[in-house]
Amino acid sequence: MTVEVVVEEKETTLLGGGDDNGGVEVKVEEESIKEGPKVIEKSASYKEESNFLSDLKEFERKALNEMKEKLEEAILGGGIFKKEEVKKIENVQEKEKEKEIVEEKEKEKEVVVEEKEETKQENKEEEEKKPEAQEEKKVEEKKPEAEEETKPEAEKEEKVEEKTPEAEQEEKKTEEKCVDEVDKDISLWGVPLLPSKGAEGIDVILLKFLRAREFKVNDALEMLKKSLQWRKENNIDSILEEDVGADLGSAAYMYGVDREGHPVCYNIFGVFDNEELYQKTLGTEEKRNEFLRWRLRLMEKGIQKLDLKPGGISSLLQINDLKNSPGPAKKELRIAMKQAVGLLQDNYPEFVAKNFFINVPFWYYALNALLSPFFTQRTKSKFVVSRPAKVTETLLKYISAEELPVHYGGFKREDDFEFANEEPNVSEITVKAGSTESIEIPVDELGTTTTWDLTVLGWEVNYREEFVPHDEGSYTIVVQKGKKIGTQEAPIRNSFRNNEPGKVVLTVENGSSKKKRVLYRYKTKKSSGV
């Protein structure tokens, strides 16, 4: 089990030991001090667990096989939705029995009526001949008549009892047929769950539930059954087709992928600082339920982007931005978050590869203490926490600059195709404290348009842009005059079209006492008609 906590001030990563005693190993990620461009380093501790059978430990393979056997038995035996299906069958059986009883009673009544008519006729003849004897006979016939009244019921019960073994056998076959028709086709996220069908993704699905329950087969199977029941009761399989109310795209959205190809989900808690939106979204229990359903719909959308096969990308990266969040003082937000945590953890196990909490304010630790009991230790091991000053640096370890949104210090812009067909070419240089570094982009052809992106982690530097001609007799052209850029500056994008050979020079002056990391990329394009 790996526990990773980013401590920004010391730039240290704490990794939980792999032993059962919970030992902690401390690794310090030393920053390179080499001169010149370098490739951005990604986190060495970030690796999703393999779903290939050959990579599993022996006890893990054994648990997976055992779960398959029990799942097969549960599906074929109607043990997934057993209560509901059996109840339906029992209701049908009861109705059939009631119908049989009514029919038997009607037949017996007809027989009794006929017998009474015959008896009356005989009695009438006897009365005419033997009045006294007739009186005695009447008294004696009361008993047979009473017996006749109760006889149909007894005969009916006897008939039902005689039919019961055959009926039960037939009903059993009907029940098995009903269960087979319902359960054999059961699937989860498009993956058939009946193990004998041999679906390629079944190992991936089952391993998620097993890992969530530390490979305890019975617990994992029970978790799976409860999740399937929950999905059925709440119509989750059709949630993507629903209109779940107001558009909350500003509160959470899927955008880009990380370095390993995991889709990234951003949760923006700051939007709830708007009182009108807060009340509209979380003000009542009904609104909170709508919000939760919308959030589940987003989760299902994210899963649609995954490849649930061994070797495929089978989990998401989740980023929780707490900047300007109203915090735990808001009761409705606390309730909604606890509900969301419970639903996602119980029904979407192992679907989050890493869970980031960025722009963490002081109250985060209080909220974490509140929610902590609802997280498993395995879930907590995936947490990465970052304060505002280190957000970009932390995220870049897991998400490339090309895929990281500009408001987090990356180069990804909405509906931007400027670098869409370019090979990833982001480079990095380090500017030592009290020094200056320049990036030179050669432009040897006339009429060439050069476009570049540049960002400095933490900024607080002086920055300028120039075009320097090769001809010493030509003048240097100022593209962007020098200015001091503060910590909140977004990445810079600019372009320049040259009329003579030369070079574009981007200069970073670091007057602070700490070294700075500069990320940049560029492209040159020959202008048409030149």
What is the CATH classification number for the domain harbouring 506? 2.60.120.680
> Do residues 378 and 223 lie in contact, with contact meaning Cβ atoms separated by under 8 Å?
no
pLDDT of amino acid 166: 63
Distance, CA of 11 to chain centre: 30
Residue 406 lies in a domain: no
Are residue 384 and residue 290 in the same domain, yes or no? Answer: yes
Q: Looking at the 3D structure of the chain, how many domains does it have?
A: 3
Lowest-confidence segment of 5-9, 132-136, 139-143, 339-343 by average pLDDT: 5-9
Residue 216 lies in a domain: no
Are residue 169 and residue 283 in the same domain, yes or no? Answer: no
Is residue 146 over pLDDT 90? no
pLDDT of amino acid 527: 72
Residue 237 lies in a domain: yes
Residue 235 lies in a domain: yes
Q: How many CA atoms lie within 13 A of 359 on its CB side?
A: 16
- DSSP label at 33? -
Are residue 354 and residue 239 in the same domain, yes or no? Answer: yes
Higher pLDDT, 165 or 218: 218
pLDDT band at 349 (very low <50, low <70, confident <90, very high): very high
Are residue 59 and residue 140 in the same domain, yes or no? Answer: no
Q: What is d(CA 124, CA 235) in angstroms, rounded to the nearest whole number?
A: 72
pLDDT of amino acid 424: 78
Structural domain boundaries enclosing 12: 4-78+230-399
> Do residues 212 and 219 lie in contact, with contact meaning Cβ atoms separated by under 8 Å?
no
pLDDT of amino acid 357: 93
pLDDT of amino acid 213: 95
Is residue 180 over pLDDT 50? no
Q: What is the CATH number of the domain that holds 342?
A: 3.40.525.10
**What region does 235 belong to: left with phi over 0, alpha with psi -120 to 50, or beta?**
left
Residue 436 lies in a domain: yes
Convert the pLDDT of each residue in 286-344 to its tens digit: 999 999 999 999 999 999 999 999 999 999 999 999 999 887 778 898 899 889 989 99
> Do residues 180 and 76 lie in contact, with contact meaning Cβ atoms separated by under 8 Å?
yes
pLDDT of amino acid 99: 66
Are residue 274 and residue 371 in the same domain, yes or no? Answer: yes
Are residue 74 and residue 95 in the same domain, yes or no? Answer: no
pLDDT of amino acid 171: 61
Are residue 332 and residue 372 in the same domain, yes or no? Answer: yes
Q: Which of 373, 178, 408, 203 is nearest to 211 (CA)?
A: 203
Are residue 389 and residue 434 in the same domain, yes or no? Answer: no
Residue 64 lies in a domain: yes
The domain boundary, picked from 399, 416, 448, lies at 399
Is residue 285 over pLDDT 50? yes
At 321, the amino acid letter reads: D
- Terminal CA-CA length for the chain: 61
Per-residue H/E/C for 409-431: CCCECCCCCCCCCCCCCCEEEEE
Angle between helices 202-212 and 58-76 (to 10 degrees): 110
Are residue 260 and residue 370 in the same domain, yes or no? Answer: yes
pLDDT band at 422 (very low <50, low <70, confident <90, very high): confident
Buried/exposed code over 481-504 (b: 16+ C-beta within 10 A; e: otherwise): eeeebeeebebbbeebebeeebbb
Convert the pLDDT of each residue in 80-123 to its tens digit: 885 544 454 455 456 666 766 767 766 666 666 666 666 666 66
Convert the pLDDT of each residue in 223-282 to its tens digit: 999 999 999 999 999 999 988 765 688 899 999 999 999 999 999 999 999 998 899 889
- Compute φ and ψ for 177, nearest 5 degrees: -65, -45
Q: Which of 375, 368, 381 is nearest to 22 (CA)?
A: 381
Is residue 200 over pLDDT 60? yes
User: For residue 285, what are the β-bridge partners?
Assistant: none
Mean pLDDT value of segment 26-54: 55
Which residues lie closer than 8 Å to 247 by C-beta, 6 or more apart? none
> Do residues 405 and 255 lie in contact, with contact meaning Cβ atoms separated by under 8 Å?
yes
**Element (DSSP H or E) covering residue 205:** helix 202-212
Q: What is d(CA 42, CA 424) in angstroms, rounded to the nearest whole number?
A: 15
Q: What is d(CA 441, CA 505) in angstroms, rounded to the nearest whole number?
A: 6
Instruction: Determine what percent of the chain is predicted with pLDDT higher than 90.
Output: 56
Assigned token pair, 293:
């359903």
Q: What is d(CA 177, CA 194) in angstroms, rounded to the nearest whole number?
A: 16
Higher pLDDT, 407 or 121: 407
Buried/exposed code over 282-300 (b: 16+ C-beta within 10 A; e: otherwise): beeeebbebbbbbbbbbbe
pLDDT band at 506 (very low <50, low <70, confident <90, very high): very high
Residue 416 lies in a domain: no
Is residue 26 over pLDDT 50? no
pLDDT band at 507 (very low <50, low <70, confident <90, very high): very high
Mean pLDDT value of segment 433-442: 97
Is residue 443 over pLDDT 50? yes
Are residue 264 and residue 385 in the same domain, yes or no? Answer: yes
Q: What is d(CA 252, CA 264) in angstroms, rounded to the nearest whole number?
A: 11
Assigned token pair, 465:
């842009």
Are residue 41 and residue 90 in the same domain, yes or no? Answer: no
Residue 194 lies in a domain: no
pLDDT of amino acid 210: 97
pLDDT of amino acid 12: 28
User: For residue 483, what are the β-bridge partners?
Assistant: 463
The pLDDT mean for the chain works out to 80
The domain boundary, picked from 183, 199, 221, lies at 183
Are residue 376 and residue 236 in the same domain, yes or no? Answer: yes
